[in-house]
Amino acid sequence: MKTLLPLVIIIILTYACKQDQASSKSDKANEPDKTIDAPQDDSKQVENIVYKTTSGKSIELIINKKNNSLSDFTIVAVDFQNSTDSLRINDSDPLQAVAIKDLDANGYDELYLITNSVGSGSYSSVFGFASNQDLSLTTIYFPDISENDVQVDGPFHGFMGHDSIYFTDNRMYRKYPVYKEGDANCCPTGGDKTVSYQLKAGEATWKLEIEN
């Protein structure tokens, strides 16, 4: 009996350790991928940042801060063979984060700019740029949330901003608090909802489509 007791203890500890490891892996799988924080140097009106893709290409982001609520962005495909024109976004909300992802797993990264509006609604927006086999960059079409989308049968019923954007498992997600009729802006009572997007190649462009 004395000989069996240590063996039983070892078996129990080994099982508990495996359970902890399995739980840790499961939790990690559900964690959002890390994004790159946007530059926060308010003393600079213009900032230049160069991002490297996993295939070694360089994409330059030029941020022109017009004021506290508006910025212009210029995206330059530095060493893409067929890129001669830069891509511009004018009068955008402030930049919150940048993500380099390969959502369609084709071996070529996309660049995503995540912005957030100033004000009580705090609405998030996404600007995406896809690599065409590292020869050029193309703007990714990302539809705005329409009036039909927030209706009872729409994918964004109860949406009133305060949303966040994150990436994981080759998907982009928008998470937002659900507002019920009569809820004040400060106090949504409908819980949270998450909508996932998948990157797909269209006939003439790339697009982020709602998946669920």
CATH of the domain at 95: 2.40.128.460
User: Cβ distance 107 to 28 under 8 Å?
Assistant: no
Alpha helices in 30-70 (DSSP H): none
Number of compact structural domains in the chain = 1
Position 28 in a domain: no
Amino acid residing at 60:
E
The answer to the question of residue 78 being in a domain is yes
Residue 23 lies in a domain: no
Specify if 70 maps to a domain: yes
Pair 130, 115: CB distance under 8 Å: no
- pLDDT of 28 reads 38
What is the rounded CA–CA span in Å between residue 144 and residue 94? 17
In a domain, 147, yes or no: yes
Residue 212 pLDDT: 67
Evaluate whether residue 100 is within a structural domain: yes
Summarised one tens digit per residue, pLDDT across range 3-40 is 544 444 444 445 444 444 444 333 433 456 666 666 66
- The Cα-based distances of 6 to 3, 9, 44, 192 in angstroms read 6, 5, 65, 48
pLDDT of residue 30: 46
Q: Measured over all CA atoms, what is the biggest interatomic distance in the chain, rounded to whole angstroms?
A: 80
Instruction: Write out residues in the chain with pLDDT < 50, as ranges.
Output: 2, 4-13, 15-30
Q: How many Å apart are CA 70 and CA 36, to the nearest integer?
A: 20
- 117: containing domain: 36-210
Strands 164-168 and 192-201: unpaired
pTM for the model stands at 0.81
Distance CA 45, CA 71 (A): 9
Classify residue 134: in a domain, yes or no: yes
Three-state DSSP class for residue 133: coil
Q: Extract the runs of DSSP E, i.e. beta strands, from the chain.
A: 36-37, 46-52, 58-65, 71-77, 87-92, 95-101, 110-116, 124-131, 137-141, 164-168, 171-177, 192-201, 206-210
Residue 141 lies in a domain: yes
